[in-house]
């Protein structure tokens, strides 16, 4: 199926630096493919350290004027970007499905979600209040201001190519920061389309810059070492996050890291099983299991294990697998061969350690990057599926017998992003919410992402929060002024 965009100029194949569309210095390009078909979609510039430095310096030059605007003036542009994104929602969704593979309905949802961060932070930017603190001496007054942190470098992954950008640039731009973004090479077009809409919305040159290239390490190195960059915001793998954090230490840059999870999804014996299945479907199989808040380990109480498994399998068997541009689907392909090999390794390891494949468990007949939606029974905590993020459509069901036992198992991981549980006992709702070692808890729901709430992890899932007033604060510095001689 062809892209057939209503507005073909949303497919930008150059990078936006200092308000103009540019090629890499030597003209080198990288090729972008559709993971559903393997077809070549087009190219983007293969930029490196030189072009990244140029983008950072453009952002540095644009900073004073952007920071000096009123919050309302900045909000006006962000709001316009939001409106343009919704106006072009179908085209942006087609572009995303083509480069990322997710079902078209999910892509449409992601565009709305991404735009929502621009709208919400445009409004919240107006409420970036300071403080007047009762002073410690009668001839003094204490003021607290919040100021934009400065130039922000944002590095985003391929699983949510629009939303991960929206939730970094929304708060950064609203707070008065300027930004250089590096999208993942698998999915650059969603980011470049946002940049195109930013230009149409009247974004001043240099305020938002996008750099693409295959040498992520060189681009990251430039971002973390340039003295003008005051903050790095990264969403991606834990390994790269740790590396960026270390690289930021010498320059003392602020860092927000949203890294891998290993979410427990707990079904207690008193759960509404139909609701739990609906939540598990949303949490586990969305984006073919390729989200950092996907249920990774499904703990099911022994009393309801068989009943839950049966209902889950009925729901999984109804999933339509295929190319999102070719017809209605609920499951797209995995992003690439590396992702496929990890899923295969996890399933093989689970089987070798005694799990039973109840559904799926192999590459899909469609070929390419398609994997069958999978349910594994009799899984246990010693399997790779329980120890690492599978990042694929595989649900391992682990039995448990008591609340205490399942909390211990759920917390036995270095990741701490999301956790979910289903129960109808109010006391247990509180106890388990407080006991789970993670930044986000879904109680009787599998869907927790919204721009109005603080998204982020603890332990090795990173730090910093995205969304809500906390997300805006992450892009500001506090300045305290002591006014004497009054
Ligand atoms: P994944 O393995 O899921 O692709 P990554 O953490 O490798 O996750 O990718 C997330 C983002 O980080 C992408 O934009 C990728 O290009 C970028 N990236 C990868 N390695 C580095 C690095 N050394 N420095 C900076 N960014 C990097």
3-state helix, strand, coil in the chain (%, to 5): 40, 25, 35
Q: How far apart (Å, rounded) are the C-alpha atoms in residues 375 and 360?
A: 7
The predicted pLDDT at position 3 comes to: 86
- CB burial of residue 109 (10 Å; 0-12, 13-18, 19+): middle
Backbone angles phi, psi at 147, to 5 degrees: -120, 150
Rounded Cα gap, residues 75 and 475, in angstroms: 16
From the CB of 157, is ligand 1 less than 6 Å away?
yes
Q: What was the pLDDT predicted at 1? A: 56
Q: Phi first, then psi: what are they for 164, rounded to 5°?
A: -70, -25
Beta carbons of 457 and 466 less than 8 angstroms apart: no
Task: Give the H/E segment covering residue 440.
Answer: strand 440-443
Indicate if ipTM > 0.95. Answer: yes
The rounded Å distance from CA 38 to ligand 1 centre is 21
Atom of ligand 1 nearest to the CA of 247: 24
Q: DSSP readout, 323-377?
A: -TTTS--SB---SSHHHHHHHHHHHHHHHHTT-EEEE--SB-TT-TT-B--EEEE
Residue to substitute in 35, 156, 184 for testing ligand 1 pocket (most ligand atoms within 8 angstroms of CB): 184
What order of strands is seen across the sheet that includes strand 141-148? 131-133, 141-148, 476-483
Residue of 392, 427, 401, 398 whose CA lies nearest to 413 = 398
Query: 218 in ligand 1 pocket by Cβ < 6 Å?
Result: no
Q: Tell me how crowded residue 406 is: count the other CB atoms within 10 A of its CB.
A: 23
Question: What is the reported pLDDT for 150?
Answer: 98
Cβ(259)–Cβ(239) below 8 Å = no
Distance 216 CA to ligand 1 centre (A): 6
Strand ranges, E, within 103-262: 131-133, 141-148, 151-155, 178-182, 208-210, 229-235, 254-258
Predicted TM-score (pTM) of the model is: 0.97
User: What integer pLDDT is reported at residue 327 of this predicted model?
Assistant: 86
Residue 352 burial (10 A CB sphere; 0-12, 13-18, 19+):
exposed
Residues carrying an active site annotation: 258
Residue of 210, 236, 339 with the most ligand 1 atoms within 8 Å of its CB, for mutation: 236
Place of tokens 């993971």: 35
Six token digits for residue 135: 């002073």
- Name the residue among 377, 376, 296, 365 with its Cα closest to residue 331: 365
Distances in whole angstroms, Cα of residue 208 to Cα of each of 47, 78, 84, 144, 197 = 17, 12, 16, 28, 11
Is residue 16 within 8 Å of residue 195, measured between CB atoms? yes
Specify the residue for token string 């992520």.
Answer: 216
* Per-residue confidence in pLDDT tens, the chain, 486 aa: 568 899 999 999 999 999 999 999 999 999 999 999 999 999 999 999 999 999 999 999 999 999 999 999 999 999 999 999 999 999 999 999 999 999 999 999 999 999 999 999 999 999 999 999 999 999 999 999 999 999 999 999 999 999 999 999 999 999 999 999 999 999 999 999 999 999 999 999 999 999 999 999 999 999 999 999 999 999 999 999 999 999 999 999 999 999 999 999 999 999 999 999 999 999 999 999 999 999 999 999 999 999 999 999 999 999 999 999 998 999 999 999 999 999 999 999 999 999 999 999 999 999 999 999 999 999 999 999 999 999 999 999 999 999 999 999 999 999 999 999 999 999 999 999 999 999 999 999 999 999 999 999 999 999 999 999 999 999 999 999 999 999
- For ligand 1, atom 1, name the residue with the nearest CA: 237
Q: Contact 445/293 with Cβ under 8 angstroms?
A: no
How far, in Å, from the CA of 157 to the mean position of ligand 1?
7
Q: Is the CB of 240 under 6 A from ligand 1?
A: yes
Give φ, ψ of 205 to 5 degrees.
Answer: -60, 140
- 3-class DSSP assignment, residue 477: strand
């Amino acid at each position: 199926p062809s892209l057939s965009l209503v507005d073909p100029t949303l497919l930008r194949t150059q990078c936006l630096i200092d308000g103009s569309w540019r090629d890499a210095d030597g003209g080198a390009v990288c090729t972008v493919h559709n993971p559903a078909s393997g077809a070549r979609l087009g190219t983007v510039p293969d930029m490196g350290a030189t072009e990244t430095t140029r983008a950072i310096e453009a952002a540095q030059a644009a900073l004073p004027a952007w920071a000096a605007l009123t919050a309302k003036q900045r909000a006006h542009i962000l709001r316009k970007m939001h409106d343009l994104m919704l106006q072009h929602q179908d085209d942006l969704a087609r572009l995303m499905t083509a480069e990322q593979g997710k079902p078209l309905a999910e892509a449409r949802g992601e565009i709305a979600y991404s735009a929502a961060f621009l709208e919400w932070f445009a409004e919240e930017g107006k409420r970036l209040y300071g403080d007047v603190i009762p002073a410690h001496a009668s001839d003094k007054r204490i003021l607290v201001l919040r100021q934009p942190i400065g130039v922000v470098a944002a590095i985003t992954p391929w699983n949510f190519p629009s939303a991960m950008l929206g939730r970094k640039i929304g708060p950064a731009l609203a707070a008065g920061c300027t930004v250089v973004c590096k999208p993942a090479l698998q999915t650059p077009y969603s980011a470049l389309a946002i940049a195109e809409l930013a230009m149409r919305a009247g974004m001043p040159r240099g305020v938002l810059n996008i750099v693409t290239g295959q040498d992520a390490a060189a681009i990251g190195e430039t971002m973390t070492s340039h003295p003008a960059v005051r903050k790095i915001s990264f969403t991606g793998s834990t390994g790269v996050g740790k590396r960026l954090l270390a690289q930021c230490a010498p320059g003392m840059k602020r860092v927000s890291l949203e890294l891998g999870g290993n979410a427990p999804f707990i079904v207690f014996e008193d759960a509404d099983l139909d609701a739990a299945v609906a939540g598990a479907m949303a949490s586990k199989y969305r984006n073919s299991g390729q989200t950092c808040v996907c249920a990774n380990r499904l703990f099911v109480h022994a009393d309801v294990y068989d009943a839950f498994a049966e209902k889950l399998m009925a729901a999984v068997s109804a999933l339509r697998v295929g190319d999102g541009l070719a017809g209605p689907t609920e499951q797209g392909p995995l992003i690439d061969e590396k992702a496929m090999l990890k899923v295969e390794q996890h399933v093989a390891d689970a089987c070798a350690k005694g799990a039973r494949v109840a559904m799926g468990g192999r590459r899909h007949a469609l070929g390419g990057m398609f994997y069958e939606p999978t349910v594994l029974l009799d899984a246990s905590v010693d399997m790779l599926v329980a120890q690492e993020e599978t990042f694929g459509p595989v649900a391992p069901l682990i039995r448990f017998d008591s609340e205490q036992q399942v909390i211990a198992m759920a917390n036995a991981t270095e990741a701490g992003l999301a956790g979910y549980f289903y129960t109808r006992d109010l006391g247990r709702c509180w106890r388990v919410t407080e006991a789970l070692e993670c930044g986000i808890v879904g109680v009787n729901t599998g869907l927790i992402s919204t721009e109005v709430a603080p998204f982020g992890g603890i332990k090795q899932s990173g730090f910093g929060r995205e969304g809500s007033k906390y997300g805006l604060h992450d892009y500001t510095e506090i300045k305290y002024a002591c006014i004497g001689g009054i």
